[in-house]
Structure 1
Amino acid sequence: MCSHYQAMKEQDRYRRHFGVAPPAEPGKFDVWPGYAASFIRRPREADVGDDAVPQREAVSGQFGLIPHWATDTLIGRKTYNACSETVALKPSFRDAWKNAQHCIIPVDAFFEPDWRSGKAVPTRISSENGDPLGIAGLWSAWKSLKGLVHSFTMLTVNADSHELMCQFHKPVDEKRMVVILPPDSYDAWLQARPQDSMDFMRVYAGQLVASAERPAQASLLD
């Protein structure tokens, strides 16, 4: 499961690939649960028939979904990934799934632990051609005393059939990977009806590359 990823630094590259400008406060580059980062969603006003309303908007939010019923933001330290097989049933995610609150998380690379040596080796995973990755997610808005707090989670699928991603995590753990969307399906995902959401929960067919390296140290308790 992905608890650490690298967001995009270059605004022009973000805009070219995702067709929308990043938010004014894009958040961290090295992102861990509880950190602020950007996600892309379909504006609610996009359905009113006004051609002036863009089809996508970039929003800053917390990595780790905060459901509307939460009493504080700490739940986000545990809700940064949502299992697609159970997302419709889990209290933390089911409302966002039922309401098709779909989003795309712009990523340069994400990290998974390689345990084949007997120790966890942080491994950076990116697209083979160097293009950004758009990860399918869900977003939520939580009302705090200081105002509205946006947050998001990454959706995941079983990775047993993926040549690269089946190599990560502990031997006794299920092999899973985030849902990486083909660029030509971005709008389809953002506009998909609740009953069609599962159609996008697939193992990535594009090429990924992995390189072992020691990323910046961080802790879920930071």
Structure 2
Amino acid sequence: MCSHYQTLKDAEKLLKKFGVHPPARAYSYDMRPGYEGLFVRRTIGSVGREAVVGHWGLARRGIRVSPAVSTFNARSDRLETARTFQAAWQAGQRCIIPADAIFEPDWRQKYQIATRFTRSDGAPLGLAGLWDIAVDAGGEPMETYTMITVNADNHTLFKLYHGLNDEKRMAVLLPDEAHDAWLDAVPDQAMGMLRGAPAEAWTATPMPVGNATNLSLF
């Protein structure tokens, strides 16, 4: 599970890596569930891409967004069956979530140490996601999105994080050359793309003890 990440704010990197310009609407950098973040999708009715600001926590089309519902992550093994995700999955409403870093908790000590994961080559992360249009408290249309995760029980790096007795999970880092394929894939093709990037693709940096991040809930 990933409940904390830092989205990409660098306009030059957004254009170079994801082919989009920053949206006019403001969005958060240090992301928590329910915050307004950035995702990239196919421009509706076009083959181009667009950057969209949305609520991190997917809600189905026409459903009112609820902060109490934990839909900021979507398990890959539930995309085809969970009511919250299956319509968006089958409709091909896939997106890419640009990010500087994701955070996971390390509980191998007596206390939690937040660990910041970045790409080992220094490039931005492009994470697999889904989007849908729900409604806000006032009944107005509201963009929402979720980050897809896969099992990491046997992953060399990510199996070391989360609670000692918890199932290990990790976000899906898409290869740069697969961005278009992910956005355009039919469900069977897209499911085959959901796998964890190898350990050498990541750099894990423990945050200083006492840092505010370490006091946060993951």
| Same fold per superposition (TM over 0.5) | yes
Aligned with 1:163 (options 156, 159, 164): 156
What is aligned with 1:118? 110
Aligned with 1:57 (options 50, 55, 60): 50
1:109 aligns with 2:120: no
What is aligned with 1:153? 146
Contact kept? 1:26, 1:38, Cα under 8 Å: no
**CA distance, structure 1, for counterparts of residue 212 and residue 179 of structure 2:** 29
Within 5 Å, give how 1:23-172 maps onto structure 2: 23-46=23-46, 55-75=48-68, 77-144=69-136, 145=138, 147-172=140-165
Change (3 A) 1:26 1:182: farther
Q: What letter is aligned with 2:135? A: K
Q: What letter is aligned with 1:124? A: R
Query: How far does residue 26 in structure 1 lie from its aligned partner after superposition?
Result: 4.3
Contact kept? 2:151, 2:170, Cα under 8 Å: yes
What is aligned with 1:175? 168
Query: How far does residue 11 in structure 1 lie from its aligned partner after superposition?
Result: 1.0
**CA distance, structure 2, for counterparts of residue 72 and residue 169 of structure 1:** 27
1:195 aligns with 2:188: yes
Query: How far does residue 166 in structure 1 lie from its aligned partner after superposition?
Result: 1.1
Q: Give secondary structure in 1 for the equivalent of 2:83.
A: coil
Change (3 A) 1:87 1:7: same
Q: Give secondary structure in 1 for the equivalent of 2:67.
A: helix
Query: How far does residue 17 in structure 1 lie from its aligned partner after superposition?
Result: 1.2
Query: How far does residue 102 in structure 1 lie from its aligned partner after superposition?
Result: 0.2
Q: Give secondary structure in 1 for the equivalent of 2:179.
A: helix
Which stretches in structure 2 are left out of the alignment for 5+ residues? none
Q: What letter is aligned with 2:125? A: L
Normalising by structure 2, we get a TM-score of: 0.90
Q: Deviations over 1:56-93 (max 9, x none)?
A: 11100011111125334325x50000000112111111
Query: How far does residue 100 in structure 1 lie from its aligned partner after superposition?
Result: 1.4
Contact kept? 1:106, 1:134, Cα under 8 Å: yes
Q: Give secondary structure in 1 for the equivalent of 2:205.
A: strand
**CA distance, structure 1, for counterparts of residue 32 and residue 65 of structure 2:** 18
**CA distance, structure 2, for counterparts of residue 59 and residue 219 of structure 1:** 27
Contact kept? 1:103, 1:138, Cα under 8 Å: yes
Normalising by structure 1, we get a TM-score of: 0.89
Q: Deviations over 1:143-171 (max 9, x none)?
A: 34352100100001111232211110111
Count matched residues: 212
Query: How far does residue 113 in structure 1 lie from its aligned partner after superposition?
Result: 0.3
Which stretches in structure 1 are left out of the alignment for 5+ residues? 47-53
Q: What letter is aligned with 2:20? A: V
**CA distance, structure 1, for counterparts of residue 145 and residue 153 of structure 2:** 25
